[in-house]
Amino acid sequence: MKLASTTTALTYRRKEFSKAVKREALGRSGGLCEGWGTKVGLIGSTRCNVPFGVAVQYDHVDAINNDDVSVDNCQCLCVTCHAYKTAKIDIPKHAKVKRIFDKHNGIVRPKGKWPKRKFNQPRFDNTKFIGAELDHDT
């Protein structure tokens, strides 16, 4: 997601891959899942290589830059890899971009929702607890 101007960030819609790009990416994958490494929940630097049945899903490699719909930004994933990457990588990244965008543009929680603590007063009246402690010892 590009945050160059406010209007583009607010009216943002991600772009989808064209049919030609999907065909090219599928040919490149060789009919096997291109999920690679810890990004899709695999151990170390291994490739998933699950053969596609009916379910092949096309994923934006760079989740933030969804405007890039070229073959370089497209990968073919199995359902498991795609679900893992979406939940663990993409959604947190988008949330972080949104937080940074909000902070940069002064979009914050309204102030004064919680009462402020008065520092010249104790947090609570503890005199009765002191008395109860003395009764307990006797």
The SS3 of residue 74 is: strand
> Is residue 35 within the footprint of Zn ion (CB under 5 A)?
yes
Q: How far is the CB of 48 from Zn ion (least distance, A)?
A: 3
Task: Give the residue with the Cβ less far from Zn ion, 88 or 98.
Answer: 88
Q: How far is the CB of 34 from Zn ion (least distance, A)?
A: 8
CB under 5 A: which stretch of 26-34, 61-69, 97-105, 110-118 binds Zn ion? 26-34
Task: Give the residue with the Cβ less far from Zn ion, 17 or 77.
Answer: 77
Of 61, 89, 65, residue with least CA distance to 77: 61
> Is residue 76 within the footprint of Zn ion (CB under 5 A)?
no
The Cα 24–Cα 112 span in angstroms is: 55
Q: How far is the CB of 88 from Zn ion (least distance, A)?
A: 14
Tokens of 96: 């972080």
In the beta sheet, which residues pair with residue 58?
76
Q: How far is CA 33 from CA 44, 46, 62, 121, in A?
A: 16, 12, 17, 64
Task: Give the residue with the Cβ less far from Zn ion, 17 or 35.
Answer: 35
In the beta sheet, which residues pair with residue 32?
51
Of 71, 73, 78, residue with least CA distance to 24: 71
Task: Give the residue with the Cβ less far from Zn ion, 63 or 78.
Answer: 78
> Is residue 25 within the footprint of Zn ion (CB under 5 A)?
no
> Is residue 78 within the footprint of Zn ion (CB under 5 A)?
yes
Residues that bind Zn ion (CB under 5 A): 33, 35, 48, 50, 78, 81
